[in-house]
Structure 1
Amino acid sequence: MGVSPTQWIITAVVILGLLAFDFFFHVRKAHIPTIKESATWTSIYVSIAIMFGVFVWLTMGQKSGIEYYAGYITELSLSVDNLFVFLIIMASFKVPRADQQKVLMFGIVVSLIFRTGFIFLGAVLINSFAWVFYIFGVILLITAGNLLKPEKDEDDEDSSEANNFIIKLAKRFMHTTDYYDGDKLFTMENGRKAMTPMLLVMIAIGGTDVMFALDSIPAIFGLTQNTYIVFTAVAFSLLGLRQLYFLIDGLLDRLIYLKYGLAVILGFIGVKLILHALHENNVPFINGGQPVSVVEVTTELSLAVILVTLLVVIVMSLMSPKGRALTTIKNTRRHAKQYLDTGFEADPVIRDKNYRALIAEEQTLLGLPEKHRELIHDEDELLDLLDEAHATHERYVAENPERFTDGDPMSGKPRIDTDAYRRAMENPDAFEGHDHED
């Protein structure tokens, strides 16, 4: 069923209205969203997306409805995976947490603009050249293969993301500062107008979004060639991304098998696209330019594969003891760095919260089975951070007695015995399991 220009206009106005509402009522004033706020608005945006799917189902038919839900779930899954990179970029630029909403909002708007352009370009290519399905299929298979490669070192990722080509160009042609001035994009330094890191991180997020679009658009075209469904599925998957970021921030590293699930989904859609290309074949050197009789994957099967794959990887991730240990180690490192970096979070309340989270994560590590606690043995940097964080906190308590009239509430909490772990790294056989200090 075709979509009238009026329906297109109304849909675009609704999406722009939701973005404007989000900006003026949530993002414009810098603040750190609470878990309750993030959960509420994430559920609202997901509900809006689901209700729109019902609208598509009722007005455009069952097939279109299933295509929309399959596309929406796929795009949302890819967006969650993209949040890992956003987290790395903002950590590398040391964006204050209260200002991260504005950066994410900018990234979402840029992503929507570029993906809309790619969607219409993809639609034109598909309608003109059937062989484009071969290219899209190969792109997805390559992407799936890349997801299965071993992860790069985190510090290398930080460096590559934060110092990419666009950033180097910006720094070359614009005077830049090394400090933030609230959420301003430009500030005055020594009488000259200068670009703040806020604009640089927005450029990095925007440039990364363009690269993500090159993967996500072929994926959804593998599920439907209806431009309206492609556009709305992409748009609604992006709308709630900012709130979702703050809701699952601490759990992102917990989904250790997500990339494998996405590899399966993208590989499946890639094969589906190539099968469809063979079915519609007009390439001269394949079967003499004639269509090839192959099995075509139904939309219902596609939706089932996507849902089952995501369910399996999420359950496996949440149930994995090793995943829990690796997540806690990463979060412990992150909170230690944030606590020590007063330029990142100068607010004493936030720093106290980071330190409390650090102590809680150490206690979680101490409660892990021995075979998983041994993962800490290879984390020499983490042990140094813990020593420095605890020493810094003790000095802070001594220098600010007015804030700790009843004594340090964290005093006496079990902590990792870093010296014991260092001895274990030097001589694993002599390690006697002295895990904590009293």
Structure 2
Amino acid sequence: MAHSVTLAAPLETIASPLLWAISIAVLIGLLVADFVVTRRPHEVPMREAVGWSVFYLALPAVFGLVLWWAYGSRPAIEFYTGFVVEKSLSVDNLFVFMLLLTAFAVPSALAQRVLLYGIAGALVLRGVFIALGAAVLQAGTWAFLLFGAALLLTAVKVLRDARRDESHTIDIDQMRSVRVIRRFFPVTKEYHDGKMIVREAGKRALTPLAVVVVAVFMTDIVFAVDSVPAVYGVTEDPYLVFATNAFALMGLRALYFVLRNVLDKLRHLDYGLAIILAFIGVKLVLHWAHGIWTWLPEVPTLASLGVIAVTLITVTITSMIANKREAAAERVAAETDPVAVGPHAENR
């Protein structure tokens, strides 16, 4: 007896080849503009960082309105929801970037160039993961169960790491990518402006700038594994997944300089990210299960946007409250026993 094989239907997408071409051309144009801006290494003042951050927040806002006008409310709401998910995950990404730049002692004037190289590589990497994700989803609805389980496991890991009371540091000597580079290529001890390869003693050698760029790029692989399935939990349209990733990543460089002094104050951010990842994981599992047991509910995209927004607002408020309580406790301790909180307190 012959058995017929049922193939999964192609993923629905709003994008035509022309729209893909225009979007990629605009993205390349923005990257070129960023490279022109960072051609001369310089310390980024807050005014410049805020200006670029506002620009890269206004772009997706306008893009979503264009989607609403051209394709209706559903793609627009899915885009906005996916963008909020990506942006919230990218803040955690920024924190790791901050640790890497500190561990490699990157001069402040070169920080934006490191971030730009890392973001450009991350965009290529996300494109590969998005294509792979689309291929997996076309293989069958079981992919939603796979993505959902992966996000739930990631949420547990993020929550476990958030509960650990340990200093946030990175040992670059233990990073596999760094060890591989140093094993096969000579690396100079000092930075040479924005150069990644120089001649030293008549031989070509990599600069620490090249090593930290590779480290940033390799680190983003971990984030891509989490973020791409998370956005597929919001929309099945590969174009919208690509757009949310592109808009979120393009604004990272400027956002880093705006938030670098407050990132460590968002002490409850990881708890919020764990909740968001777990929520989207459950949403994906329910979507898979609804195809088998139709009586099971599905989570609407607008409801997802509400849950994600409320979660981010809540962890921001609780972080501010915790910071104020800690500051108040330190003031009280300083008033009662100034030596206890002084520079020599640890020697008492």
- TM-score (normalised: structure 1): 0.72
> Is the CA contact 2:186–2:205 (under 8 Å) kept in the aligned structure 1?
yes
Select which of 177, 187, 199 maps to 1:176.
187
CA separation of 1:367 and 1:12: change in aligned 2, threshold 3 A: same
Taking a change above 3 Å as real, the CA distance of residues 27 and 373 of structure 1, as seen in their structure-2 partners, is farther
Contact 1:317 1:323 in 2 (8 A): no
Deviations 1:280-327 (A, max 9, x none): 2xxxxxxxxx445311000010000011111111122123236764xx
List per-residue Cα deviations over 1:161-217 (Å, max 9, x = no partner): 553111111111111122111121112222221111110000100000111100000
Q: 8 Å contact 1:67–1:299 — kept in the other structure?
A: yes
Query: In the alignment, does 2:56 pair up with 1:45?
Result: yes
Give the structure 1 partner of residue 118 of structure 2. 107
SS in 1 for 2:205: strand
Match of 1:360 in 2: none
Distance 1:211 1:121 in 2: 15
Contact 2:265 2:323 in 1 (8 A): no
Correspondence for 1:12: 24
Q: How does 1:101-250 map to 2 (within 5 A)?
A: 101-149=112-160, 150-151=163-164, 153-154=166-167, 157-159=169-171, 163-250=174-261
Aligned with 2:170: secondary structure?
helix
Q: Which has the higher contact order (CA 8 A, sep 6+)?
A: 2
Are 1:162 and 1:204, in contact at CA under 8 Å, matched by a contact in 2?
no
Q: How many Å separate the matches in 2 of 1:139 and 1:69? A: 23
* CA deviation map 1:323-362 (0-9, x unaligned): 764xxxxxxxxxxxxxxxxxxxxxxxxxxxxxxxxxxxxx
Counterpart amino acid of 1:27?
A: T
Q: Quote how far apart the aligned CAs of 1:369 are.
A: 3.3
Please state how far the C-alpha of 1:222 moved relative to its aligned partner.
0.3
- 1:386 alignment counterpart: none
In the alignment, does 2:295 pair up with 1:370?
no
> Quick one: distance in 1 between partners of 2:54 and 2:137?
35
Deviations 1:208-256 (CA, angstroms, capped at 9, x unpaired): 0111100000100000001111110110011111000001110000111
TM-score by length of 2: 0.90
Q: Which runs of 5+ in 2 are unaligned?
A: 1-12
Report the counterpart of residue 8 of structure 2 in structure 1. Answer: none
CA deviations on 1:10-52 (whole Å, 9 max, x unpaired) are 111111111111111x211100110111011100110011100
Contact kept, 8 Å, 2:152 with 2:277, in 1: the verdict is yes
Separation of aligned partners in 2, 1:138 and 1:234: 21
CA RMSD of aligned residues (A): 2.2
Q: Distance in 2 between matches of 1:34 and 1:42?
A: 12
Unaligned residue ranges in structure 1 (runs of 5+):
281-289, 326-364, 378-415, 427-438
What is the alpha-carbon distance in structure 1 between the residues aligned to residue 105 and residue 80 of structure 2? Answer: 36
Partner residue in 2 for 1:417: 342
CA separation of 1:3 and 1:422: change in aligned 2, threshold 3 A: closer
Question: What amino acid sits opposite 2:299 in the alignment?
Answer: V
Deviations 1:355-375 (A, max 9, x none): xxxxxxxxxx9973329999x
Aligned to 1:311: 313
In 2, Cα distance between equivalents of 1:263 and 1:162: 29
- Change beyond 3 A, Cα 1:316–1:193: same
Task: Tell me the distance in 1 between the aligned counterparts of 2:66 and 2:33.
Answer: 22
Correspondence for 1:294: 296
Question: Equivalent residues in 2 for 1:260-275 (5 A)?
Answer: 260-275=271-286
Matched residue SS, 1:194: strand
Call closer, same or farther: CA 1:58–1:140 in 2, change over 3 Å.
same
For the 8 Å contact 2:90–2:248, the answer to whether it is kept is: yes
